[in-house]
Amino acid sequence: MVRADYEWNRVFNSRPGGIPATFELLFEFSSVTGTRVPEGTNQFFGKPRLPSNWPVDWTRMYDFSDVPGVDSHPDINFARKLDANLALALNELPEFLQSSDVQALDPDEQRVFVSLSARKLLRGRLVRLPTGQQVVQAMANVGIVVPQLTKDQLNAGPHGTLLQAHGFDEETPL
């Protein structure tokens, strides 16, 4: 559902002369990035406040057609259709790409730590969410039989080696 870039305001948009509001920029200007912010400050690029061309135009983010006196912008950002694909920018989160800990890893391991989907899988393991195998077993215990992928089926895809390296072929996240 997430878009690769947004119609953010009068400056950051996809119209001629505009600058696309990409994920990299959204991360850079959000309050939680810290990528270029001096440690211990809440400044933006060494300046004391958010740049004047960056605040969001909310009429581009929400449909205000039912609100009297407020017109929705013609360039409203509609969510993309729900599917199993991530916006490409979520495969390489800027915050984590710049981390020296991540840069010290080999390229296959780097992909695990900079991808939103991989980080979500690792977080699920960290908070001990049940695995797919555990859910299948729990359902079988109450008489509900559901098919379960075999290790060979899990490892057959392009990321089979990565799954095995992190034990996801034995303890598969839901």
Same-domain pairing of 66 and 22: yes
Same-domain pairing of 24 and 59: yes
Structural domain ending residue among the three candidates 59, 83, 107: 83
Total domains in the fold of the chain = 3
DSSP of 85-152: PPPGGGGS-HHHHT-HHHHTS-HHHHHHHH-HHHHHHHHHHHTTPPBHHHHHHHHHHTT-------HH
Structural domain ending residue among the three candidates 66, 83, 100: 83
Domain range for 143 is 131-174
Same-domain pairing of 68 and 5: yes
Same-domain pairing of 25 and 49: yes
Query: For every one of its 174 residues, what pLDDT tens digit does the chain have, with 9 covering 90 and above?
Result: 777 788 888 889 888 888 888 877 777 666 544 444 555 555 555 555 667 788 888 888 888 888 888 877 888 888 778 777 777 777 777 666 666 666 677 776 766 677 777 778 778 888 889 998 999 999 999 999 998 888 888 888 777 887 888 788 888 887
pTM above 0.75, yes or no: no
Same-domain pairing of 8 and 56: yes
